[in-house]
Amino acid sequence: MKKTTIYVLILGIITSTISCKKDFLQVKQNAKVVQITAADCQAILDNYDIMNSEYPSHGELSSDDYFVLSANAIGNGENQQFYRWEPNAQVLAGADYSWAIPYLIVYNANVVIQAVEKEPGALDQTTLNGLKGSALFFRANMFYQLAQLYTKQYDPNTANQDLGIPVRTDPSISVESSRGSVQQTYDQIIKDFKEAIELLPNTSSKASRPNKAAAYAALAKTYLTMGNYTDAGSYANECLKIYSSLMDYNTLNQVSSTPFVRFNSEVIFQSYMQAKSITQPNTQAFVDLDLYNSYASDDLRKSLFFKPKTGGYRFSGSYNQTTVSNFFNGIAVDEVYLIRAECNARNGKIIEAMNDLNTLLVTRWKSGTYVNMTASNAEDALIKVLTERRKELIFRGRRWTDLKRLNKDIRFQKTLIRNVDGATYTLPPNDLRYSLLLPLVALNYSSLQQNPR
């Protein structure tokens, strides 16, 4: 590839050589013009330890996938506050993975987008398209991740008034951050993903790199969150046209503590969330027992996803091949089948919904034991799909979003209950606490409005 210089405004640092992510927001604002190449842009996007890692996990921390007998089991006081759904639960530490690293990812994406747009054209268009498409994907994906934590559930009736997240599309420090609306947040997410689809190749040589299939799937997930089941189903279908490989769980080691290989054949886009507080072996976090007992004996997920520990079970089913922390929260084929199945059920396509569900589940059960599910009507199909979604996507960072969106439907509302340290805590449907408080670092560096309580 011909080496061509690209000029871009950098905030006093070259992001591809950041050695200390935690200090990102501490950087002196002495911006200057430096030169980076297209190769530098690719290096920024390929920096796995930044662009694909330590995604926000406070939704998972607050969800009902697990329980502890004592709040001390999940670490510091902040984590305990999130576990108890305290109204003032807030990240108080400095720059961290709940805010600063996500916006570092956004910043890096904006650096690449700006660089590519300033490129005079000496490079081939395919190279430029790949760089810009990848950056757009990373930006939209992180906007989506943050919206799940810090905004209200998307509601078309209130989305133009509800507070969104800061949607930064320029790396310049002279652009002041503002929250805008939930509608503006999702409009930008959709715009970025759609543009990425037009620029990216169908697949990529590494699952850590964005591709068209991943962008289709991410857009499907976005529309599902918004309650647009027609578009969600359509984009899920487009993804599966490109890539639809499912693992046969019968081929996996049932007793292994890490039965799933990182970058396995189902992974379309690889990323993971920082979840040490609920996953370290020395904690006393247990998988929800009702959830564990919902798996049939011939369902291989029961032995692959969970391993016994004194007093209950721990999770062992991460697609990130770890027992310690950093659970997979990327995009995999199984989720895309579940998105299409849910959309088919909600749109009255009962046979198609069950076909999608059965295509997935037959690969999850012991060979020769699975009996295809049927549904008597669309609601029955939807219930079956949502039940399996709950069981398939455990500890992938999806539960908090699912609770928020399903709480909008009286049929699926759930009041969460914690019993810990001799006290009982509850989180009713649609409570304001489903929008987490912005971290202190976000407020210290801006005039952003805090979420109401």
pLDDT value at residue 321: 85
Enter the pTM of the model: 0.92
Tell me if 51 is assigned to some domain.
yes
Between residues 27 and 290, the one the model is more confident about: 290
According to the model, what pLDDT value does residue 209 have? 98
Average pLDDT over residues 339-353: 98
In a domain, 217, yes or no: yes
- Domain CATH number, residue 358: 1.25.40.390
Res 2: pLDDT:
37
Average pLDDT, the chain: 89
| In the predicted structure, residue 282 carries a pLDDT above the cut 70 | no
Q: Which of 165, 118, 109 is nearest to 137 (CA)?
A: 109
Domain range for 50: 5-249+330-444
Give the residue from 183, 192, 240, 184 showing the smallest Cα distance to 219: 192
Q: Binning pLDDT at 50, 70 and 90, where does residue 121 land?
A: low
Per the structure, the count of domains in the chain is 1
Residue scoring higher pLDDT (26 or 411): 411
**147 in any annotated domain:** yes
Q: Is residue 43 part of a domain?
A: yes
Q: Report pLDDT digits (tens) over 390-445.
A: 999 999 999 999 999 999 999 999 999 999 999 999 999 999 999 999 999 899 87
pLDDT at 404: 98
Do the domain assignments include residue 256? no
pLDDT over 70, % of the chain: 88
Q: Percent of the chain, pLDDT > 90?
A: 77
30 has pLDDT over 80:
no
- pLDDT bin (cut points 50, 70, 90) of residue 94 is low
Q: Is the pLDDT of residue 7 over 80?
A: no
Examine the pLDDT at 202 and tell me if it is beyond 70: yes
What are 72-81's pLDDT values in tens digits? 888 788 889 9
Tens digits of residue pLDDT in 288-326: 999 999 999 999 999 999 999 888 999 999 999 876 668
158-173 pLDDT per residue, tens: 999 999 999 999 998 7
Q: Would 154 be classed as within a structural domain? A: yes
Residue 25 has a pLDDT of 29
**What integer is the mean pLDDT of 64-86?**
90
Pick from 402, 8, 43: nearest CA to 224: 402
Please indicate, yes or no, if residue 205 is contained in any of the structural domains.
Answer: yes
The answer on pLDDT for 68 being more than 80 is yes
* Token representation of residue 285: 């976090």
C-alpha 337/C-alpha 100 separation (Å) is 33
The pLDDT value given to residue 76 = 80
**Cβ-proximal residues to 376 (8 Å cutoff; 6+ apart), any chain:** none
| 67 close to 416: Cβ distance less than 8 angstroms | no
Residue 278 has a pLDDT of 58
Mean pLDDT within 163-187 = 94
Residues 6+ apart with CB under 8 A from 145: 55, 56, 102, 397
Overall average pLDDT of the 226-231 stretch:
98
Residue 285 has a pLDDT of 83
Tell me the pLDDT band of 13, cut-offs 50, 70 and 90: very low
